[in-house]
Amino acid sequence: MTVLDHDDLLNLIACPHCDALHRVQRPSNGEQAVCRRCHAVLIAPRRRAGMTIIMLSVSVMILVLGALWFPFLTISRSGFHNDASLLDAAFAFSSGPLLPLSLAVLALIVVVPLARVMLIVYVLLPVVFDRAPFPGAREAFRLSEALQPWSMAEVFALGCAVALVKIADLALIGFGPAFWMFAGLVVIIVVQDNFMCRWSIWSSLEPEDEPKFKPTSMTDPEIMNLPSPEAKA
């Protein structure tokens, strides 16, 4: 059996879900390459994806920071009025033993979403201008990927809606400006995820001394016959 050299390995991609090995075949922009076995999306490049993701990330930053100061719900009952901002909600548990929960809520709805988009901008900014990645870019992207499931701004937005209905007969409730900011956030995060092609980003972060992905001849006969991922429009 021939030993695979470095360039050959660059031409391969293993599905992270089922380990099936494929030959990299970059689909055209807007198309997806999916795993032949489990149909997970492996590569999904989009036109001007880097710039779009950066702009969406900046909007997420503005919306989260803005939403901190404005109330998201207002309430009135029997002459008493109140409104709640994100910080109020995060520190709802700050009395006594529930304090750790306050910190967790603050992390899930403010700190993690903000950190994540800041890391993404740090990673992508040099890439879209065809410069070498900033130092630590690969660690930054790895951290941003690890944070993804813990970024819960959009769950919080739905929570606002549920809370509103839940106490609708207890008092008069209205949406504040921050609620609409969070509603916008839900849409932006979905769109941003759609533009994010992990494979493309990781390939652009390939260390300098490593060759970038380029189609080369394969030497191992078995690897040579590997299927490419299926293309889907």
Partner 1 sequence: MSGDRHLSALTARDAGLVACRRCTRVWPGHETECGRCGASLASRDDRSLSRVWAWWVVGLICYVPANLYPMLSTRTLLSTSEATIVGGAIELIHHGSIGIAIVILVASVLIPMAKFACIAFLALTVERRTALSATSRQHLYELVEYVGRWSMIDVFVVAILSSLVQLNVAATINPGPASLAFALSVIFTMLSAQAFDSRLIWDGIEEADRPDDLAISAAGRDMAH
DSSP collapsed to 3 states, 96-111: HHHHHHHHHHHHHHHH
Q: Which of 2, 5, 17, 215 binds Zn ion (CB under 5 A)?
A: 17
Quick check: 34 binds Zn ion (CB under 5 A)?
Answer: no
**Binding residues with partner 1: total (CB under 8 A):** 77
Nearer to partner 1, 16 or 215 (CB): 16
Stretch binding partner 1 (CB under 8 A), from 60-68, 95-103, 123-131, 188-196 = 95-103
| Rg from Cα positions in the chain | 23
What is the closest distance, in whole angstroms, from the C-beta atom of residue 101 to partner 1 in the complex? 5
CA distances to 120, 167, 168 from 59, rounded to whole Å, are 13, 31, 31
Q: Which of 5, 14, 18, 232 binds Zn ion (CB under 5 A)?
A: 18
Rounded to whole angstroms, the Cα distance separating 25 from 177 reads: 46
Q: Which of 47, 166, 191, 231 binds partner 1 (CB under 8 A)?
A: 166
The token pair that represents 35 in the structure block: 């795993």
Quick check: 15 binds Zn ion (CB under 5 A)?
Answer: yes
Q: Which helix (H) or strand (E) holds 161?
A: helix 153-166
**82: β partners:** 75
Q: Which of 28, 131, 135, 149 binds partner 1 (CB under 8 A)?
A: 149
**In 3D, which of 30, 53, 56 has the Cα closest to residue 43?**
30
What is the closest distance, in whole angstroms, from the C-beta atom of residue 15 to Zn ion in the complex? 3
Rounded to whole angstroms, the Cα distance separating 23 from 13 reads: 6
The token pair that represents 54 in the structure block: 């950066």
Quick check: 12 binds partner 1 (CB under 8 A)?
Answer: yes
Quick check: 210 binds partner 1 (CB under 8 A)?
Answer: yes
Quick check: 215 binds partner 1 (CB under 8 A)?
Answer: no
What is the closest distance, in whole angstroms, from the C-beta atom of residue 35 to partner 1 in the complex? 9
The token pair that represents 16 in the structure block: 């992270």
What is the closest distance, in whole angstroms, from the C-beta atom of residue 66 to partner 1 in the complex? 18
Q: Which of 34, 49, 117, 160 binds partner 1 (CB under 8 A)?
A: 160
Nearer to partner 1, 135 or 207 (CB): 207
Q: Give the sheet arrangement for strand 172-175, strand by strand.
A: 80-85, 71-77, 172-175
Strands 230-232, 32-34: pairing kind: antiparallel
Stretch binding partner 1 (CB under 8 A), from 49-57, 113-121, 123-131, 141-149 = 141-149
Q: Which of 28, 80, 129, 130 binds partner 1 (CB under 8 A)?
A: 80
- Do 116 and 147 touch, CB atoms closer than 8 A? yes
